[in-house]
Amino acid sequence: MAIYRTDHVGSLVRPERLLVAREAFKAGRMPLDELRAVEDECILEVFQRQRDIGIEVVSDGEFRRQSYTTDQYEAIEGFAPDYPIVPSTRPDGVVVNVQMHTKPVVGKLRPLRRMTEHESSFLLAHAPRPFKVTMPTPARVPGSQTTIPAPYTSLTEINEDITAIFRDEMAALADEGVTYLQLDKVPTRFVDPQAREAMRAQGLDPDEEFATEVALENQCYDAARREGVTLAMHFCRGSRTWWQGGAGAYDAIAEQAFAGLHADRFLLEFDTERAGGFEPLRFVPKDKSVHLGLVSTKNGALEDQDELLRRIDEASKHIDIGQLGIGPQCGFQGASERDGAHITLDEQWRKLELIVDTARKVWG
């Protein structure tokens, strides 16, 4: 089992010139090859910056994506053309329209191309090792489809087709030589007590639904299992600073997730009280590792290192400290390009520097 003390979830804050180039491409003022050239330049710069800081596992910042889910919707036929816009109420009572991350399925799902080959080929040629490729979980949750489109007759059939595409992608990445593959999962409905109760009111058993998703994700992990490949799962609590969804400790899913998922590494969010304590870490098997997401990507204020050291020590009361590492709780960019990042580039780099310095103090 590879042990990484420093890591980040995947996305990095977009530099301004990348945002400008993407907007020009969308408006038809820039051809794709020129956009790719700008992406290449920006990715090479963040490779070097991550190397200089000393982060063990690097990424391309997901700079070729509009959001972390973009690749599947560009590479797979059968999804709706637009992301749904859903009204959501902030804590101050103001109702805002929020663009969701998940597009509904409207027809037969067929791969048009490999999902991440355009990213992995550049990573393999230019990235410092080790590097990661990230993807969302293939599991589609009940309620994300208000209707089941032909030729499907159930959500189960939709999940089977999506999972097969993701499974093939994970296997291809492992065969190419990518040594860190990560799925990103939003466990809100499984950890939030109110959400679990709402599922029961719909006639759904939260534990059975979670087990169904684990089985789908395990198909992907099993297909990518190779010597020297780290398989990871990030549990995301949401990217909006005001959003309070996902409250609830990991206790409700800990045993199922940590023992049941065929992942080697869990990237967990522990930056706020809504994630609960470290007690669920006792369910992590000895041959798996945990990334403690103690550093916030939603708040630019730099964390106090003494507090980080205290929390790592606290976590080590429930899991061997040798299985632990430290990093940010979520991606730095957030859901959207122009307004998704909640911190500046400088704040991002200072947080990553703090993560590396803290890890050196703990693990040498």
pLDDT at 221: 98
Residue range 308-336: mean pLDDT, rounded: 93
pLDDT at 130: 95
Share of the chain above pLDDT 70, in %: 91
CA distance 362 to 358: 6
pLDDT at 194 over 70: yes
pTM value is 0.92
pLDDT at 91: 64
Residue range 353-359: mean pLDDT, rounded: 98
Residue range 226-232: mean pLDDT, rounded: 97
- 59: buried, middle or exposed (CB in 10 Å: 19+, 13-18, 0-12)? buried
Share of the chain above pLDDT 90, in %: 75
Task: Output the CA–CA distances (angstroms, integers) from residue 345 to 15, 44, 151, 169, 350, in the order listed.
Answer: 8, 16, 46, 31, 9
- 114-126 pLDDT, tens digit per residue, is 999 999 999 999 9
Instruction: Please tell me which residue, 141 or 169, carries the higher pLDDT value.
Output: 169
Confidence label for 58 from pLDDT (cuts 50, 70 and 90): very high
pLDDT at 192 over 90: no
pLDDT at 81 over 70: yes
Mean pLDDT of the chain: 91
Instruction: Please tell me which residue, 188 or 60, carries the higher pLDDT value.
Output: 60
Confidence label for 85 from pLDDT (cuts 50, 70 and 90): confident
pLDDT at 98: 67
pLDDT at 119: 96
pLDDT at 99: 67
Confidence label for 83 from pLDDT (cuts 50, 70 and 90): confident
pLDDT at 69: 82
Phi, psi of 39 (to 5 degrees): -60, -45
In 100-205, alpha helices (H): 117-126, 155-176, 188-191, 193-201
pLDDT at 242: 42
pLDDT at 318 over 50: yes
pLDDT at 240 over 60: no
CA distance 247 to 242: 13
- String of DSSP letters for 242-256: T--TT-S-THHHHHH
Q: How would you classify residue 48: left for phi > 0, otherwise alpha for psi between -120 and 50, otherwise beta?
A: alpha
Confidence label for 20 from pLDDT (cuts 50, 70 and 90): very high
pLDDT at 355 over 70: yes
pLDDT at 301: 95
Beta bridge partners of 289: 265
Confidence label for 57 from pLDDT (cuts 50, 70 and 90): very high
pLDDT at 237: 75
Instruction: Please tell me which residue, 74 or 262, carries the higher pLDDT value.
Output: 262
- 269-302 pLDDT, tens digit per residue, is 998 887 889 999 999 999 999 999 999 998 999 9
> Buried (b) or exposed (e) across 269-297, using 16+ Cβ within 10 A?
bbbeebbbebebbebbeeebbbbbbbbbb
Report the Cα 138 to chain-centroid distance in Å. Answer: 12
Residue range 322-330: mean pLDDT, rounded: 97
Phi, psi of 236 (to 5 degrees): -100, 135
Q: How would you classify residue 334: left for phi > 0, otherwise alpha for psi between -120 and 50, otherwise beta?
A: left
pLDDT at 133: 98
pLDDT at 136 over 60: yes
pLDDT at 239 over 60: no
Instruction: Please tell me which residue, 142 or 279, carries the higher pLDDT value.
Output: 279
